[in-house]
Amino acid sequence: MKATIALALTLEASMMFSGCDAEADTLAGNVEVLHQGTYINSGVYTSKTLRVFEDQESYKAALLSYTNDDAQLIDFTTHKVVLVDIGQKNTGGYSVNVTDTESEEGYLKVTAVTSVPGKGCMVTSALTNPYVFVSINTTQDILFTETLKIEDCE
């Protein structure tokens, strides 16, 4: 029993510190997670941000503030890069993911889900700034929708 709990805590900690979650990196074949994290490389925390990048240079420049990862080469004739940043949080336990895309007339609806710790959740006592960069196979304009998910820890 103790070994199982220790393994679960080790896996939880490794996912938390790596900034990645256990969800698949590809959503419905047209969304790929490029970069995801909980802490900002620059140490300068941000406000909530939703951005669409349509060229390699602006994507690469923005990425430098978030991580030491190299910018991936994106074909911007067929793809766009989206940044969803939920801003500074006073504790751990927060995350953000792109969970759905839906083509509408003339635009692509992108759904981002922000998960927040609920009552009774154990969280780290550290400033965090969860974000995700995704590549989306689309040339349509993008409309964001957001959903809040409160984690049940009781």
Model pLDDT, residue 41:
87
Phi, psi of 85 (to 5 degrees): -125, 120
Q: Give the span between the Cα atoms of 30 and 19, in whole angstroms.
A: 22
Model pLDDT, residue 2:
39
Tokens of 47: 């406000």
Q: Give the span between the Cα atoms of 127 and 26, in whole angstroms.
A: 28
Q: Give the span between the Cα atoms of 10 and 96, in whole angstroms.
A: 21
Please report which confidence band the pLDDT of residue 149 belongs to, taking 50, 70 and 90 as the band edges: very high
pLDDT in tens, 32-89: 999 999 999 888 889 999 999 999 999 999 999 999 999 999 999 999 999 999 999 9
pLDDT in tens, 103-137: 998 899 999 999 999 999 999 999 999 999 999 99
Please name the residues in contact with 7: beta carbons below 8 A apart, sequence gap of 6 or more: none
